[in-house]
């Protein structure tokens, strides 16, 4: 089936009608190998895959990178075509948001901690656009990367709390050969920044060698500290994957070791899922 690129709600509704069981991969474009892996996982879950490409103004703070976020629609559509995507929805901001809009989704307390504490309002913006995309595309399944672990947890929470009839699938983080987690923001990094940025994945790797929460955090922190002042750490946390509350030192079971840091002008996040026995 040939890929259909649509920009309006009306075009989307007409195209959606012709597709059966549909998996949605919501993105902000600048597609890379990580997105390709989400699309491949989506293909296994449904008859057809839709990809949305929309740089959502609601989830960027006033001093964040909304204006310079990479917009590469032609290249993105080529990636989607190569991956067998049936439908790409690439709306304008005006198509997504009415000028007089006033109701948004509130992320609740989980939206105020960790990533949310450094990016106030970010998760309200993410959940608002994701719910709108679900309502417009009407997917059966939606696939999100585990790299944005708190985002994934919040989307699961929204779907459960608001009874949204979409199955949420989390997909493993894809890394460069040297360990750097793939991200559309990696293209902002200079060669020097990129070398410093490797401390994030190394810290997670070192932390994951340990069994007790305190040891995990100490080992990971030592790697981040060794990177020196070029790396400015926002947070390093070991949390419950569903609630994003920090785990106690006698915690057994699933946990997520997550880090956020700034390198040069670029803010990066990364995490690893851990099973503590
Ligand atoms: O993860 C992203 O790329 C975005 O936060 C998402 C889910 C597409 C919402 O804009």
pLDDT tier for residue 148 given thresholds of 50, 70 and 90:
very high
Residue 178 falls within a domain, yes or no?
A: no
pLDDT for 116 beyond 80: yes
> Mean per-residue pLDDT for 98-124?
98
pTM above 0.85, yes or no: yes
Test site for ligand 1: of 54, 93, 129, most ligand atoms within 8 A of the Cβ:
129
If asked whether residues 62 and 132 sit together in one domain, one would say yes
Residue 84's CATH number: 3.40.50.620
Other CB atoms within 10 A of residue 84 CB: 14
> Mean per-residue pLDDT for 220-237?
98
pLDDT tier for residue 1 given thresholds of 50, 70 and 90:
confident
Domain limits for position 166 = 4-171
What's residue 37's pLDDT? 98
Q: Which among 146, 110, 2, 119 is positioned nearest to 56, based on CA atoms?
A: 119
What's residue 251's pLDDT? 96
Q: Which among 262, 257, 261, 235 is positioned nearest to 247, based on CA atoms?
A: 257
If asked whether residues 122 and 257 sit together in one domain, one would say no
Residue 176 falls within a domain, yes or no?
A: no
Point out the ligand 1 atom lying closest to the alpha carbon of residue 184.
Answer: 3
If asked whether residues 16 and 137 sit together in one domain, one would say yes
Q: Which two tokens stand for residue 138?
A: 């009407």
Model confidence pLDDT, tens digit, residues 235-248: 999 999 999 999 99
Angle at 110 between CA 201 and CA 140, to 5 degrees: 85
Q: Which two tokens stand for residue 142?
A: 């939606």
127 Cα–ligand 1 center, Å = 9
Compute the mean pLDDT over every residue in the chain, rounded to the nearest whole number.
98
Pocket lining for ligand 1, CB < 6 angstroms: 26-28, 56, 59, 126, 129-130, 148, 151
- Atom 8 of ligand 1: nearest residue by CA position: 27
If asked whether residues 30 and 163 sit together in one domain, one would say yes
Q: Which residue has the tokens 């070398």?
A: 195
Domain boundary among 137, 171, 205: 171
If asked whether residues 144 and 211 sit together in one domain, one would say no
> Mean per-residue pLDDT for 77-87?
98
Domain boundary among 171, 204, 230: 171
> Mean per-residue pLDDT for 85-109?
98
- Number of structural domains, the chain? 2
- Cα 108 to Cα 102: distance, rounded to the nearest angstrom: 18
Catalytic residue (one of 35, 48, 114, 122): 35
> Mean per-residue pLDDT for 48-58?
98
Residue 29 falls within a domain, yes or no?
A: yes
10 Cα–ligand 1 center, Å = 22
> Is 85 marked as binding a ligand?
no
Test site for ligand 1: of 37, 58, 130, 166, most ligand atoms within 8 A of the Cβ:
130
Residue 180 falls within a domain, yes or no?
A: no
Q: Has 35 been annotated as catalytic? A: yes
- Cα 239 to Cα 233: distance, rounded to the nearest angstrom: 17
Residue 229 falls within a domain, yes or no?
A: yes
Residue 232's CATH number: 3.30.1300.10
> Mean per-residue pLDDT for 61-81?
97
């Amino acid at each position: 089936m040939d890929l259909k690129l649509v920009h309006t709600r009306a075009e989307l509704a007409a195209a959606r009608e012709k597709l059966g069981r549909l998996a949605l991969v919501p993105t902000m474009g600048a597609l890379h190998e990580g997105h390709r892996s989400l699309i491949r996982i989506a293909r296994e879950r449904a008859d057809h895959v839709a990809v949305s490409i929309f740089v959502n103004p609601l989830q960027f703070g006033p001093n964040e990178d909304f204006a310079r976020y990479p917009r590469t629609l032609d290249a993105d559509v080529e990636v989607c075509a190569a991956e067998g995507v049936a439908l790409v929805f690439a709306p304008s901001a005006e198509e997504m948001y009415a000028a007089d809009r006033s109701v948004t989704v509130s992320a609740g307390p989980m939206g105020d901690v960790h990533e949310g504490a450094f990016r106030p309002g970010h998760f309200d913006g993410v959940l608002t656009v994701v719910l709108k995309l679900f309502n417009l595309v009407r997917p059966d399944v939606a696939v999100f990367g585990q790299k944005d672990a708190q985002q994934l947890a919040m989307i699961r929470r929204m779907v459960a709390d608001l009874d949204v009839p979409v199955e949420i699938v989390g997909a493993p983080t894809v890394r460069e050969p040297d360990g750097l987690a793939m991200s559309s923001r990696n293209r902002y990094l200079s060669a020097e920044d990129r070398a410093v940025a490797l401390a994030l994945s190394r810290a997670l790797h070192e932390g994951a060698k340990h069994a007790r929460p305190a040891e995990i955090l100490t080992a990971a922190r030592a790697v981040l500290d060794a990177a020196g002042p070029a790396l400015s750490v926002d947070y390093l946390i070991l949390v419950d994957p569903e609630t994003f509350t920090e785990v106690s030192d006698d915690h057994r079971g699933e946990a997520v070791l997550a880090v956020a840091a700034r390198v040069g002008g670029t803010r990066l996040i990364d995490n690893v899922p851990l099973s503590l026995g």
